[in-house]
Amino acid sequence: MRSDNVTKGAERAPNRSLFYALGYTKEELDRPLIGVVSAYSEIVPGHMNLDKITEAVKAGIRMAGGTPIMVPAIGVCDGIAMGHEGMKYSLPSRELICDSVETMFTAHQFDGLVLVPNCDKIVPGMLMAALRMNVPAVVCSGGPMLAGNHEGKEVSLSYMFEAVGAFKAGLMNEEQLTQCEEGCCPGCGSCSGMYTANSMNCLCEAVGIALPGNGTIPAVYAKRLQLAKKAGMAIMNLVEKNICARDIFNERSVRNALACDMALGCSTNTVLHLLALCKEAGVDLKLETFNEVSAKVPNLCHLAPAGPTHMPDLDAAGGIPAVQAELAKKGLLDLDVMTVTGKTLGENIKGAVNRNHNAIRPIEDPYTPTGGLQILWGNLAPKGCVVKRSAVAPEMLCHTGPARVFNSEEEAISCIYAGGIHPGDVVVIRYEGPKGGPGMREMLNPTSALAGMKLDKTVALITDGRFSGASRGASIGHVSPEAASGGPIGLVQEGDLIEIDIPNASINMKVSDEELEKRKAAYVQPAPKVTSGWLARYARLVTSADEGAVLR
């Protein structure tokens, strides 16, 4: 056992003395030591219940003969960080989390890990570390929030952001706005739509590194605590059999995750995170693979913001196993891959039934025959960009319009709120990529403002930044190379015609190669936005979005 390095032999007497100082007994030190990495805090609604989840995990570990040891992890609430400089820290925090989990695991020689995250960057950050070190690991999230209510309608956080746009456009009064903000997020859990947190928790389940139910059981249900206890028991089985993270997360299971990604209509952020996870796991995942899978896998779910259903609806319909059962009907999954249950995927979903065809369409009657995400290429994005196709209105799948160019999110949102964007426009927000932002901020404020102003079916938005899973409309992000790295998005001028063809995976500015060369020759790189603190170091080391925005 790895923990023998800190618990066994006369040479480790000083180490043991410090465990005794913590109150551990000899009997506990004779058992496998399991790190329980908890992102509990009082600033993230999705994490405010993780103290209870962590205690349940620890109980499961003890029941199965292990010694649980809780260690902390940080976590940014993307909703609270949205729309100001705090969002610059969200994506970069993924790397901090990964490095800190590696540090705590290696320094203290745990035998396995149960990862207890819930929200956007925390899930992939923790899992990246487990894959990097290739150790026994189980992900056990805190669960999704229940849907809120506004004027008798089920709502969640995306509706709240759009309400601001409606208020600015005079479509909602101040009293209605206040009622909405008080009712849209009713309690603990990751916000209730198919946003990034829920997307990643569902994909952890789909790839097999989390137990069935991880992605969908609501945070407030007793079943969530029961799941946490089972996760604690599951890690002991993995440690005993030496089944490590890369035994489960591999090329075959990643393709299963991609299939679920397309069926569910997950956040565009899953592209960034799956690329980063695959890099740590040694899996060669290319952007082209997303389109390859999307072409074969139909979109079965329209959860908020794409439609009116929320995570409790998906759970009641049978959750991820029910989605997988639909996909298995057409042979779209590899059912022989191993999972943290100790069983194969096929064994896990045996008997799974789709109980609500409004939440999960039967595979014979999908929303669309292709998946929820699409990668686009063209002279605007030679290395690709991504759009959540399932949340785009049919009339915006193909669109050509004049560019409205902004060099920051603040410039764009100011113009949108002032009524300066008109039907047909293509809003271009640049210098918000991993390096240029730095930190690749989410553009939920601009996209939600456009939706709230009823412009989401006539206006497109393109950025080298990224989008929250709560964004809808023709929101095209991750443009690579980014402007700060000399990408063509930095050469776009006001009024240039931008041609978007999502079905044919293309995005181009209608500008000649000769004109682009002239602009490139005259281009002057703006000064970095951040020159101090660790974000400046991040900007120097971060790679492009098409590589997962990982650090060199």
pLDDT > 90: percent of the chain: 99
Query: For residue 139, which amino acid is it?
Result: V
Of the pLDDT bands very low, low, confident and very high (cuts 50, 70, 90), residue 529 is very high
* pLDDT surpassing 90 at residue 371: yes
Q: Cis (ω within 30 of 0) for the bond into 446?
A: no
Provide Rg for the chain, Cα atoms: 23
Tell me how far apart the alpha carbons of residues 37 and 273 are, in angstroms, rounded to a whole number: 19
* pLDDT surpassing 90 at residue 241: yes
Classify residue 135 as left (phi > 0), alpha (psi -120 to 50) or beta. Answer: beta
Provide the pLDDT for residue 363.
98
Count of residues making up the chain? 552
Tell me how far apart the alpha carbons of residues 386 and 466 are, in angstroms, rounded to a whole number: 9
Reported as a single tens digit per residue, the pLDDT across 438-474 is: 999 999 999 999 999 999 999 999 999 999 888 899 9
Reported as a single tens digit per residue, the pLDDT across 157-198 is: 999 999 999 999 999 999 999 999 999 999 999 999 999 999
Tell me how far apart the alpha carbons of residues 552 and 532 are, in angstroms, rounded to a whole number: 19
* pLDDT surpassing 90 at residue 301: yes
Provide the pLDDT for residue 525.
87
Q: Tell me if 382 sits within 8 A of 490, measured CB to CB.
A: no
Provide the pLDDT for residue 56.
99
Q: What is the CB-side half-sphere exposure of residue 86 using CA atoms within 13 A? A: 10
| Cβ count within 10 A of residue 313 | 21
| Across 510-536, average pLDDT | 94
Classify residue 369 as left (phi > 0), alpha (psi -120 to 50) or beta. Answer: alpha
Task: Tell me which residues are annotated as active site.
Answer: 468
Q: What is the CB-side half-sphere exposure of residue 423 using CA atoms within 13 A? A: 5
Of the pLDDT bands very low, low, confident and very high (cuts 50, 70, 90), residue 491 is very high
Q: Tell me if 346 sits within 8 A of 238, measured CB to CB.
A: no
| Across 324-337, average pLDDT | 98
Tell me how far apart the alpha carbons of residues 77 and 79 are, in angstroms, rounded to a whole number: 5
Under 8 Å CB-to-CB from 448, ≥6 apart: which residues?
A: 158, 161, 162, 164, 165, 470, 471
| Across 153-157, average pLDDT | 95
Q: Tell me if 264 sits within 8 A of 331, measured CB to CB.
A: no
Among the listed residues 343, 341, 323, the one whose alpha carbon sits nearest the alpha carbon of residue 332: 323
The continuous run of DSSP H or E covering 291 comes out as helix 287-296
Mean per-residue pLDDT of the chain: 97
| Across 36-58, average pLDDT | 98
Provide the pLDDT for residue 55.
98
Q: Are strands 475-477 and 497-501 parallel, antiparallel or unpaired?
A: unpaired
Give the pair of three-digit tokens for residue 316: 């009641």
Tell me how far apart the alpha carbons of residues 380 and 301 are, in angstroms, rounded to a whole number: 30
State the angle between helix axes of 196-207 and 122-133 in degrees (0 to 180), rounded to the nearest 10: 30
Provide the pLDDT for residue 470.
86
Reported as a single tens digit per residue, the pLDDT across 243-265 is: 999 999 999 999 999 999 999 99
Give the pair of three-digit tokens for residue 271: 């592209």
| Cβ count within 10 A of residue 543 | 18
Under 8 Å CB-to-CB from 377, ≥6 apart: which residues?
A: 383, 384, 385, 505, 506, 507
| Across 287-303, average pLDDT | 98
* pLDDT surpassing 90 at residue 380: yes
* pLDDT surpassing 90 at residue 228: yes
Query: For residue 365, which amino acid is it?
Result: D
State the angle between helix axes of 269-281 and 251-264 in degrees (0 to 180), rounded to the nearest 10: 170
Q: Are strands 497-501 and 506-509 parallel, antiparallel or unpaired?
A: antiparallel
Among the listed residues 429, 466, 138, the one whose alpha carbon sits nearest the alpha carbon of residue 276: 466
Query: For residue 111, which amino acid is it?
Result: D
Q: Tell me if 305 sits within 8 A of 193, measured CB to CB.
A: yes
Under 8 Å CB-to-CB from 11, ≥6 apart: which residues?
A: none
Among the listed residues 7, 65, 90, the one whose alpha carbon sits nearest the alpha carbon of residue 439: 90
Q: Are strands 460-463 and 475-477 parallel, antiparallel or unpaired?
A: parallel
Q: Tell me if 403 sits within 8 A of 497, measured CB to CB.
A: yes
Tell me how far apart the alpha carbons of residues 81 and 306 are, in angstroms, rounded to a whole number: 23
Tell me how far apart the alpha carbons of residues 141 and 218 are, in angstroms, rounded to a whole number: 10
Beta bridge partners of 54: none
Reported as a single tens digit per residue, the pLDDT across 85-123 is: 999 999 999 999 999 999 999 999 999 999 999 999 999
| Lookup result for tokens 């089985």 | 237
Helix (H, G, I), strand (E, B) or coil at 254: helix
Q: Tell me if 494 sits within 8 A of 404, measured CB to CB.
A: yes
The continuous run of DSSP H or E covering 114 comes out as strand 112-116
| Across 63-79, average pLDDT | 98
